[in-house]
Amino acid sequence: MNIIPKPLSYVDNNDSFQITENTVICLTEINFELEKVATRFKDKIKQISNINLEIKRQIVRSKNTIKIYITKTNLGKEGYKLTIKSDGIVITAEASNGVFYAIQSLYQLLPAEIFGSEFCHKKIVLKCCEITDSPRFSWRGMHLDVSRHFFEVEFIKKYIDYLAILKMNIFHWHLTDDNGWRIEIKKYPRLTEIGAWRASREGIDWRDCKPQQPGEHTTYGGYYTQTEIKEIVQYAKDRFITIVPEIEMPGHSSEVLAAYPNLGCTGGPYTVATGTYWPNNDIFCAGNEKVFTFLENVLNEVIEMFPGKYIHIGGDEANKEEWKKCPKCRKRMQEENLQNVEELQSWFVKRIEKFLNSNDRIMIGWDEILEGGLAPNAVVMSWRGEAGGIQAAKAGNDVVMSPGTHCYFDHYQGDLETEPKAIGGYTTLKKVYSYEPIPSELTPKQAKHILGAQANVWTEWMETPEHVEYMIFPRMCALSEVLWSTADSRDWNDFLIRIKAFIKRLQILGINYCYLALVKKIKNSELNRSFE
């Protein structure tokens, strides 16, 4: 059994079942979402085998069927039971989500060629088995920063495909930051006319980039139109993935201020950052009402595009020096009886939370939103270790764990001598695999607030899709198991056996995975790139 993430239970026997021209897919429910799942499975089988499966909207008694039942299973919405017998396959789940995951498992029971797009001469034969499965955590996420480097729609879809294969269900899309605004907002066209473009410094070390010079043209950038965003949201939904969009505030906002300088404390001029500079004092003015009008108008369009319940507002690393000097900000602090700039950020964030809650959305932010007092219903994304997450869970707020120690996939994963340049850190495959998202000091009641975890992919040093693939694979395989499989079932040596089969799938998918992350762990001969 080579499934990643490892299922809850797997029992096999010696029989087998072959999918043939006469195999019929039977659905118990007329349900558009379920039909789409079944149709994509049918299309996949057709693509690689030329077998044209019939879909029937009723259960037929005959043998040689793939029967899909939507019924109570006690395995939750994402759980499923997959039974392969000599006369057919039965999938039972409470919702289409579970059926989708059953099919993902089914793919991993088939020859790796199923992941390709080419005709495969092998017969589609499955070993008989019974799998009962459901995830440990509800937040199984991957983040991607498209501000530091921009990635085309085609790659975003591939990224979503990668999540789906591993039964991940959250795509945290980091759409805005100092280096570029990436989402079309109809009310504020300068965000993409100006904010999406920076002076190109490609090939220069990210920390050495000279800021944009007077008169210099801005040529590096790009953004997603609202039409493209909607298409991607639907693409993700079809794979049972919710997109959590992130709009950064109050810091990491140089690109907005470059477009609308009156929203900053100083009035500028500002430029879209070409690299990272510390300190970066650019920040939205917390004393200017126009800032809140702007942010609410932007969020209104964001809410319109993204139907998921979570909206991420950033909140990390806001340098508040300007707030200390700005008359408007000082006035605000006085009026609202705020003792320091941390309390001013907290006031800012709580105001945005109220707006999001009134629009039926849940606000999520990096753990800095705890400073100066946490907003009542906010979800905390704990990145500076787990302390923020622990504090929030103890206070009764929900938490997503993403500590730099285990979940930053921009860190090195192998020998620093041979790896491509990365931001720093050292987060090996084994380290990711060892991650336990529930801190031991939480009571069972507090632990329920840990929704799950995610890996963050900051792209300062990743200019191409191939480089992003290299940083996420194979580490995402380890993370998927941390988040889906039970803590008891985690076994590093067993994972290494299963990952060999997974590597073959990555090769067929044409993914540029980090080969050296596996060397010494698996015999070189077994990793041979030309596995044929």
Q: Just list the catalytic residues.
A: 177, 252, 317
Rounded to whole angstroms, how far apart are CA atoms 384 and 393? 15
3-state secondary structure string across 481-521: HHHHCCCCCCCHHHHHHHHHHHHHHHHHHCCCCCHHHCECC
Q: Give the residue among 204, 4, 233, 243 at the shortest CA–CA distance from 115.
A: 4
- The token pair at 37 is 């799942």
- Decide which of Zn ion, ligand ACM, none touches 342; Cβ closer than 5 to 8 Å per partner kind: none
The residue from 164, 265, 379, 450 that contacts Zn ion (CB under 5 A) is 265
The residue from 36, 230, 328, 467 that contacts Zn ion (CB under 5 A) is 328
- Decide which of Zn ion, ligand ACM, none touches 291; Cβ closer than 5 to 8 Å per partner kind: none
Instruction: Give, rounded to a whole angstrom, the gap between the first and last alpha carbons of the chain.
Output: 21
- The token pair at 272 is 């879209």
Which of 264, 465 has the CB closer to Zn ion? 264
- Decide which of ligand ACM, Zn ion, none touches 315; Cβ closer than 5 to 8 Å per partner kind: none
- Decide which of ligand ACM, Zn ion, none touches 383; Cβ closer than 5 to 8 Å per partner kind: ligand ACM
CB of residue 442 to ligand ACM, shortest distance in Å: 22
Bridge partner list, 323: none
x-or-dash string of contact with Zn ion, 56-95, rule CB under 5 A: ----------------------------------------
Position 383 contacts ligand ACM (CB under 6 A): yes
Which of 49, 402 has the CB closer to ligand ACM? 402
CB 25 within 8 A of CB 41: yes
CB 153 within 8 A of CB 109: no
CB of residue 287 to Zn ion, shortest distance in Å: 5
Which of 366, 484 has the CB closer to ligand ACM? 366
- The token pair at 10 is 């797997």
Contacts to ligand ACM from residues 347-366, by CB under 6 A: 366
Q: Give the residue among 255, 224, 225 at the shortest CA–CA distance from 144.
A: 224
The residue from 130, 317, 371, 463 that contacts ligand ACM (CB under 6 A) is 317
Position 333 contacts Zn ion (CB under 5 A): no
Position 173 contacts ligand ACM (CB under 6 A): no
Which of 316, 342 has the CB closer to ligand ACM? 316
Dihedrals phi, psi of 125, to nearest 5 degrees: -115, 130
Task: Determine the size of the site formed for ligand ACM (CB under 6 A).
Answer: 4
- The token pair at 408 is 């930053």
- Decide which of ligand ACM, Zn ion, none touches 326; Cβ closer than 5 to 8 Å per partner kind: Zn ion
Which of 93, 326 has the CB closer to Zn ion? 326
CB of residue 317 to ligand ACM, shortest distance in Å: 5
Position 409 contacts ligand ACM (CB under 6 A): no
Q: Report CA-CA distances (Å) from 437 to 169, 208, 489, 499.
A: 16, 36, 15, 22
Go through 457-469 and write b for each residue having 16 or more CB atoms within 10 A of its CB, e for each that does not.
bbbbbbbebebbb
Q: Report CA-CA distances (Å) from 400 to 70, 90, 144, 393.
A: 30, 34, 16, 10
Position 419 contacts ligand ACM (CB under 6 A): no
Position 316 contacts ligand ACM (CB under 6 A): yes
Bridge partner list, 452: 139, 400
Which of 347, 383 has the CB closer to ligand ACM? 383
- Decide which of ligand ACM, Zn ion, none touches 366; Cβ closer than 5 to 8 Å per partner kind: ligand ACM
- Decide which of Zn ion, ligand ACM, none touches 110; Cβ closer than 5 to 8 Å per partner kind: none
CB of residue 347 to ligand ACM, shortest distance in Å: 21
- The token pair at 207 is 């920390």
DSSP state at residue 263: G
Task: Determine the size of the site formed for Zn ion (CB under 5 A).
Answer: 6
Give, for 334, the enclosing helix (H) or strand (E): helix 327-335
Q: Report CA-CA distances (Å) from 506 to 111, 358, 412, 470.
A: 13, 44, 20, 11
| Positions in the binding site for Zn ion (CB under 5 A) | 265, 285, 287, 326, 328-329
For binding to ligand ACM (CB under 6 A), which residues are involved?
316-317, 366, 383
